[in-house]
Amino acid sequence: MFSKLKLVWLVAGRELRDQFRDWRVIAPMLILTLCFPFLMNEFAKQTVDFLNQYNADLILERLVPFSIMIIGFFPITVSLIVALESFVGEKERGTIEPMLSAPLDDWQLYFGKLLVGVATPLLASYVSIGLYLILASRQNLNMPPVPVMVQLFLLTTAHAFLMVSAAIVISVQSTSVKAANLLASFIVIPVAILMQGEAVMLFWGNEQVLWLAVAGVMIIALLLIRVGLAHFQREYLLGREIDVINLRWLWHTFWSNFRGGAGSVGFWYRNVLSAAFRRILPAVFFTVLIAGVSLWMGYDWIMVNTAETIALASPEDLQKMEEQVRELPDLEAIRNSISAPFLFLNNTRAVAVIFLAGLVSFSVLGILLYMVNISLIGGIFALLQLLGVQPWPIFLAGIVPHGIFEIPALMIGSAVALYFGAALVTPQTGKSMGEIIIELLADWAKIFIGVVVPLMAIAALIEAYITPGLLFNVLGS
């Protein structure tokens, strides 16, 4: 194993030496690493002077952690260029073939490039942060506590891994350095948005959420590394494809996969859709399990957090809340505002959003949204129980009739999102990543149009025309 790891280091070492001999890489990195802390320190000094006039202590307290996060981020963005051109650059320079012809395994090549892609920006980030901390300590600024410092270092590391692993996926899949650089915006923009969210958390001072952010970013980075390895194909790196958007090919591939050679709707349902459904069956099984966990989580969360609130509430308040729950809803108003088309569009949109969220996060965000949807049911169940209302009749009348169709549709729709992410991180030889994505999109379209939409339509009709009546009877009794 050691000798195999030695080859990873060998690949990284050569690249690292090459980088440090290129002033075009070194100069901007050095300028940014060494100059930015001074700029940030000056900015902090001015901000402190300004905020001191208004006694804005809280903002002052959070200023240093925020600055550290920003300082750590900048060298990573610049060094992204190195990772972006790791494979495609060698391909363009014609140096890739001797490397690919050598007795190196795919993972050795991949991790060698990843290592050098991460090491340089991280080194620059740590140096930059260290320099800033020295400068800030001389300004008598409040230093962040140790746990926050640890979080910031981990967050910087996670950002580096996330961006570099994404850049290497792009580098393996791109046909030219130009294309890779253009695609880099798909890394920089989401990470910049993520940073804004993290900055909010930092100013909010919720450390626990920041830990979740560290974990989330690391998970996505690991999934990206897995995707890169799964779709690393020597064959593709040697290809001579040029950067042309072939809409005709895209559509043809999608349509032929969607149609699957079916001549009639019946045949399509029996053979094409059923085959797609069989493929996602393990994912369906997992979404059922996740649903169970989510129900319990929703139930437990309400039981733990709301029980205390209810326990502290006065008897009058409790009485008022119970009356509100028992109060018969204005079913006429509901009928007027919530029509079957509205419900249908709303529910199908929710499934589509779960898929789209899953699409950009290897299923992670999609499944989180699915969990939120399902946990609401557990939460409501717990709330009713806490209020002393029998939840079962309300559930049987208000959820089960349309839920029989709606919940399986939600589960199946979410299962496709899960399947999409899992398929993306699974090695598939003989196909480009583009082909795999189009095939997965076709599978999603089959399930969505063939299963989710009909189930949601039936559920919407029941929810609009049958559920209110049943609920009225139950609540009335």
Partner 1 sequence: MIETQDLSKQFHDFMAVDGVNLSVQSGQILALLGQNGAGKTTTVRMLTALLQPSRGWARVAGYDVSKNGHDVRASVGVLTEQHGLYMRMTAIEYLDYFGQVYSLSPSARKARSDNLLEYFGLAEAARRRIGEYSKGMRQKLALARAMMHDPGVLLLDEPTSAMDPESARLVRDEISRLKSASRTIIICSHNLTEVEALADKIAIIYRGRVLLQGTLDELKSQVLGAPEYEVKFTEAWNSTGLELPKDVEMLSQTPTSLKVRVKRPEEMNPQILNALSSKSAPVMAFQEEARTLEQVYLKVMADAKGREHVQ
Q: Of the two residues 15 and 463, which places its CB atom closer to partner 1 in the complex?
A: 15
What's the rounded Cα separation, in Å, for the pair 174 and 168? 10
Give me the least distance between CB of 105 and partner 1, in Å please.
7
What's the rounded Cα separation, in Å, for the pair 437 and 78? 29
Q: Of the two residues 98 and 476, which places its CB atom closer to partner 1 in the complex?
A: 98
Element housing 118 (H / E): helix 106-138
Q: Of the two residues 52 and 101, which places its CB atom closer to partner 1 in the complex?
A: 101
Q: Of the two residues 101 and 390, which places its CB atom closer to partner 1 in the complex?
A: 101
Q: Of the two residues 15 and 198, which places its CB atom closer to partner 1 in the complex?
A: 15
Owner of token pair 């950067």:
243
Rounded alpha-carbon distances, angstroms, from residue 403 to 173, 269, 406: 42, 23, 5
Alpha helix locations (H) across 184-273? 185-204, 207-230, 234-238, 247-259, 265-267
At residue 388, φ and ψ (nearest 5 deg) are: 80, 15
Give me the least distance between CB of 182 and partner 1, in Å please.
25
Residue closest to 137 by CA, chosen among 73, 195, 204, 68: 68
Q: Of the two residues 234 and 335, which places its CB atom closer to partner 1 in the complex?
A: 234
Q: Of the two residues 24 and 138, which places its CB atom closer to partner 1 in the complex?
A: 24
What's the rounded Cα separation, in Å, for the pair 164 and 183? 13
Give me the least distance between CB of 96 and partner 1, in Å please.
7
Q: Of the two residues 7 and 455, which places its CB atom closer to partner 1 in the complex?
A: 7
Structure-token pair, residue 64? 């240093």
Give me the least distance between CB of 118 and partner 1, in Å please.
21
Rg (CA), the chain: 27
Other C-beta atoms closer than 10 Å to the C-beta of 271 total: 13
Task: By CB under 8 A, name the binding residues for partner 1.
Answer: 3, 7, 10, 14, 17-18, 21-22, 94-105, 234-235, 238, 429-430
What's the rounded Cα separation, in Å, for the pair 470 and 253? 47
Give me the least distance between CB of 22 and partner 1, in Å please.
7
Give me the least distance between CB of 113 and partner 1, in Å please.
14
Q: Are 237 and 93 in contact (CB under 8 A)?
A: no
Give me the least distance between CB of 77 and partner 1, in Å please.
24
Owner of token pair 């966990």:
293
Give me the least distance between CB of 443 and partner 1, in Å please.
21
Q: Are 435 and 400 in contact (CB under 8 A)?
A: no
For CA atoms 291, 294, 298, 303, the dihedral sign is positive
Give me the least distance between CB of 436 and partner 1, in Å please.
15
For CA atoms 18, 19, 24, 26, the dihedral sign is negative
Give me the least distance between CB of 157 and partner 1, in Å please.
29
Residue closest to 384 by CA, chosen among 326, 312, 463: 326
Within 8 A by CB and 6+ apart from 331, the residues are 468, 469, 471, 472
Could you say which DSSP state residue 274 is in? H
Give me the least distance between CB of 24 and partner 1, in Å please.
12
Q: Of the two residues 337 and 429, which places its CB atom closer to partner 1 in the complex?
A: 429
Q: Are 60 and 144 in contact (CB under 8 A)?
A: no
The amino acid at 95? T
Q: Of the two residues 252 and 326, which places its CB atom closer to partner 1 in the complex?
A: 252
Give me the least distance between CB of 98 and partner 1, in Å please.
4
Q: Of the two residues 100 and 127, which places its CB atom closer to partner 1 in the complex?
A: 100
Q: Of the two residues 249 and 296, which places its CB atom closer to partner 1 in the complex?
A: 249
Owner of token pair 């795919």:
106
What's the rounded Cα separation, in Å, for the pair 207 and 398? 39
Structure-token pair, residue 405? 């169709």
What's the rounded Cα separation, in Å, for the pair 92 and 161? 25
